[in-house]
Structure formats: C-alpha cells, structure tokens
C-alpha cells in the first residue's frame, strides 16, 4: 500500500487496516513522518518530532498486533501537545522558560496511550503555557492554519488541531482551559472534546489554571474522539481532582438519530460580533438536528455574559500562583548574569516568559493582592457558582445545549495581536463550560468562504455519552467532517 493511501486515515480506519494486515504500523508511521517532513515547514504544527522513538514504537506495535495483543489505538501515530510531560522527550510549553526541560516521567494520559500501543510521532506547538487563542504566543514560532496558511489555527492547542487537519498525525491530545481544544478544532475543521473536569487525569500536565484545565482529544471524527477518550478517561490517584468514576464504553453512544433528545439553544451564545456566515451555518445545523428527531427549543442563560470577566480573574490568578515555581533555581531557564539571588530571579522571569504570560501573571497577582482579593477573586468565584447552577437548571430541561464554537472563522495572522481584548473575545463561547466544569465538544458545522465553522454541544457533568450521540448523529447526516484542506 502506498503512503498516500494511508494518509488521512481515521483511528477506526487505521485499526481496520492494521488488524487485517493490509498495512503495518511501521508503514503507517513512516508515511506520517514523511508527511510531517513534507508539509510541516509550512504549517509549523510540531515543536519536536520523535522519529527514532516513533519507529521503534511502531515495530513494537506490529509485534503486539501479530500476537493478538492489540486495542483500538495500537500502532496508530499520535501527537501530544507540548505541555504534557513525556519521559525523555523535551516538554517546552512553547516557552524559553522550559526550552531545555526533559521530564523524567510521563503524564498519565501519555502513559495510558502508550500502554494501548499508540505511537508518539512528536509534540505539538501551542501558545506559551497555553495562554492564547491563536498559537501566535508561542515563543518558538506561530503555527499556521492548513486551510489558509495566512491564517491562525486557533489556540492554545493550535499545533494539535493543525496537525490533525493536515494529516500529520491520526489524532492528538490538547488541553482546554477556556476553549483551547474546541476553538482550534473549530478553526481547523476537526473534532475537539473538552471532557468533564476530573474525568481525565491532569497528572503531568504543566499547569496554567488548575481548576479549569482539562485534557482531551483532537480527532478527525466523532468516533475517533470516543475511542481516544476510552483510553484516557478514568480515576488516577496521582491527581487529587480526579473523579472516582468508572467510565462507560463511549463508542456505544454513537447512534444515528436523535429521537426524543431535548436540545436547548441559548440565545446569549448568538452574541454581538458573531459573524453572519457563522450564525447562518449554525442555524442551518440546528435545523438538521430537528430533522434527526431532536426536540429543539430556545432557552436563556443570562449569567453567560459574565463568563469572560470571571475567567479573566480566576485563570490569571491561578496562573500567577502556578507559575511562581519558575524561579531559575529548581529547573528550567536561569539567568546566567545577575547580581545576587533576587536579581537572578527577576531576570529569569523577565527573560524566560513572553509578553502574554507576563500580562496574565500581573493580572492575577493584582487580583489576589491585599485589598483586591475580596473585590475580584472572591466575587468571581461566587459568580462562577451562579454560572454552574444556571447550567444545572438548564440540564433539568434539556439533555444537551447547542451553540457556535467560535464567533468567527480563522482570522489572519497578526490581525488581533495588538489588541489583547479582541483576542480574548475569541473564547467567549467556550469559556462557560470550563467555568462550570461541564463537557463540551466541537464538530465541523459548515464552511464559510472556504474556512471551517465549528458547532458546539454542551452537556451536564459526565454527560459525554449524550454529547457523542448528538455530535455523531449530526456528523453522519452532513459532509463537513469529510472535507480536508488542500496542502
């Protein structure tokens, strides 16, 4: 089988060919690495490519398959966002602060995928310390959108989304703090899932905002998303926030119709600034849901309008605390020339962090400072509770909610870097799910002027099965997920 024949395979399709012996993991991995060599000079989806390790893992996977000791992900090439620890492989967070950091252990999600026999081909580029919506904040280089190389892929998981869209891996893992899986998935025309907070272990994920961060898959279709979640979900004693819950087989929720499913359409998500083409595509998609048998009704979530303000108090505050550990002493970058300990600490943080990371550290430090803690951080946490309760009440009436994922299609590189507030608004439709800790998935929902539109489903805590059902039925009734960029 030619390498061109295996590029673009889904997890499910790759497994079928591997099980039948029609392709080996060695051949599939070689084809993916050749693809990376061919196109990544233009896309910049990878920070590190692990060619030697990948080929060794592929040979091991082929032996497992031959012995019948294989699962859905055995032998399948994957990428990991570069804020998840990989033993012996650099983990930089796309920051000068960690440019030489090589972890001595694997993140739990990495260990679980390798236990399944998945093949790591490299680490994905991202906004520095996951702070951004365009991957332009990477201290290394910006990633470009495979649909239009002059546009952003979204962020902060821009590298993973672009890599999946460009067929540089079969699937990837990203992290989502305020939309960092779903927004780039929408802009790159792939599927992105943010699971319920605590469903997937955060052990080994380099922290941004610990009460918001969640790891999830970026895949070519909904079936693949369910298969990857099967592998990474479940309790982990190394993560104190991990839920004690026995996850089901999510692939069993993939049903072709939505008969009897109650779906709410929150009017507040059709915000001012929503591009007309995006709104039209989403409204058309909602019509498809009705045709599939769903009972669709408009609803209201009035506290949604406060989500942006709440997020930009809580997330920077937690970032300020989490990033205090980078002091130039224990690990990471350390300023070589300094007059004493305090000067060394100042210069380390001044030179090691980029502008956006510094901006958020300062915002968080201010919000947590004496005299402002009650006025900002404490009040934000109270409004966070109101947002969560509002979702709880909505899910008494509805099985799922449907919204746009992003207010716009992919924008031009450099278009919003001069205005941080405009950049922050790109996550306005995804942040509420993180604030409430609920699951959400983005699927391809249309094409506007040659660029993908994302359709977002939100569900109650541990409602991933319902999300998969809704997303899969919509996906199977449309052709958007089959469309790929021409590189």
180 labelled catalytic: yes
Cβ-contact 128, 81 below 8 angstroms: no
Cβ-contact 404, 429 below 8 angstroms: yes
* C-alpha span between 301 and 428 (Å, rounded): 14
Q: Which of 104, 14, 91 is nearest to 58 (CA)?
A: 14
Strands 214-219 and 171-176, by their bridges, are antiparallel
Please, how many CA atoms are within 13 Å of residue 50, restricted to the half-sphere of its CB? 23
Q: Which residues contact 370 (CB under 8 A, 6 or more apart)?
A: none
Cβ-contact 183, 154 below 8 angstroms: yes
Sheet with strand 46-49: strands edge to edge: 46-49, 119-124, 77-81, 171-176, 214-219, 191-194, 440-448, 451-458, 400-404, 262-266, 295-299
Q: Where are the beta strands (DSSP E) in 118-167?
A: 119-124
Q: Where are the beta strands (DSSP E) in 134-213?
A: 171-176, 191-194
Q: Which residues contact 367 (CB under 8 A, 6 or more apart)?
A: 313, 316, 317, 320, 373, 376, 377, 380
- Exactly one of 24, 25, 95, 156 is catalytic; name it: 156
- Exactly one of 180, 242, 408, 442 is catalytic; name it: 180
Separation of first and last alpha carbons in the chain: 22
- Exactly one of 81, 194, 347, 416 is catalytic; name it: 81
H helical segments located in 22-84: 25-43, 51-66
Q: How many residues does the chain have?
A: 487
Cα dihedral 142, 147, 151, 153 in deg (nearest 10): -50
156 labelled catalytic: yes
The answer to whether the Cα torsion of 315, 317, 318, 324 is positive or negative is: positive
Cα dihedral 136, 142, 146, 151 in deg (nearest 10): 40
What φ, ψ does residue 394 adopt, rounded to 5°?
A: -65, -40
Please, how many CA atoms are within 13 Å of residue 150, restricted to the half-sphere of its CB? 2
Q: Which residues are catalytic?
A: 81, 156, 180
């Amino acid at each position: 089988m030619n390498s061109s024949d295996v590029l673009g395979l889904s997890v499910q399709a790759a497994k079928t060919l591997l099980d039948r012996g029609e392709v080996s993991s060695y051949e599939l991995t070689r084809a993916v690495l050749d693809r990376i060599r061919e196109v990544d000079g233009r896309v910049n989806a990878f920070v590190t490519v692990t060619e030697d390790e990948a080929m060794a893992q592929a040979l091991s996977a082929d032996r497992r398959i031959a012995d019948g000791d294989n699962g859905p992900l055995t032998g399948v090439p994957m990428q990991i966002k570069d804020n998840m620890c990989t033993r012996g492989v650099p983990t930089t967070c796309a920051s000068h602060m960690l440019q030489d950091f090589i972890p001595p252990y694997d993140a739990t999600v990495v260990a679980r995928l390798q236990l399944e026999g998945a093949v790591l081909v490299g680490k994905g580029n991202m906004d520095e310390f996951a702070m951004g919506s365009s991957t332009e904040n990477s201290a290394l280089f910006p990633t470009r959108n495979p649909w239009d190389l002059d546009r952003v892929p979204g962020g902060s998981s821009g590298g993973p989304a672009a890599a999946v869209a460009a067929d540089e891996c079969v699937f990837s893992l990203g992290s989502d703090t305020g939309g960092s899986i779903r927004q780039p998935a929408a802009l790159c025309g792939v599927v992105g899932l943010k699971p319920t907070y605590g469903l997937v272990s955060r052990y080994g994920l380099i922290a941004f905002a610990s009460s918001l961060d969640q790891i999830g898959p970026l895949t070519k279709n909904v079936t693949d998303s369910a298969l990857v979640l099967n592998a990474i979900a479940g309790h982990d004693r190394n993560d104190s926030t991990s839920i004690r819950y026995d996850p089901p087989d999510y692939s069993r929720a993939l049903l072709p119709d939505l008969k009897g499913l109650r779906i709410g359409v929150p009017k507040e998500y059709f915000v001012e600034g929503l591009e007309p083409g995006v709104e039209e595509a989403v409204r058309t998609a909602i019509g498809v849901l009705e045709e599939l048998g769903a009972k669709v009704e408009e609803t209201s979530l009035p506290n949604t309008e406060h989500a942006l303000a709440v997020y930009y108090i809580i997330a920077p505050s937690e970032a300020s605390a989490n990033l205090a550990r980078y002091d130039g002493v224990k690990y990471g970058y350390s300023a070589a020339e300094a007059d004493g300990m305090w000067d060394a600490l100042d210069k380390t943080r001044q030179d090691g962090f980029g502008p956006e990371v510094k901006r958020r550290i300062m915002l968080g430090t201010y919000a947590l400072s004496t005299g402002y803690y009650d006025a900002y951080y404490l009040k934000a946490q109270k409004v966070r509770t109101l947002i969560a309760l509002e979702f709880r009440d909505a899910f008494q009436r509805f099985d799922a909610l449907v919204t746009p994922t992003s207010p716009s299609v992919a924008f031009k590189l450099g278009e919003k870097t001069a205005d941080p507030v405009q950049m922050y608004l790109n996550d306005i439709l995804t942040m509420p799910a993180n604030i409430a800790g609920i699951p959400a998935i983005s699927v391809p929902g249309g094409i506007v002027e040659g660029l993908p539109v994302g359709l977002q489903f939100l569900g109650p805590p541990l409602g991933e099965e319902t999300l998969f059902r809704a997303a899969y039925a919509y996906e199977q009734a449309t052709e958007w997920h089959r469309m790929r960029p021409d590189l």
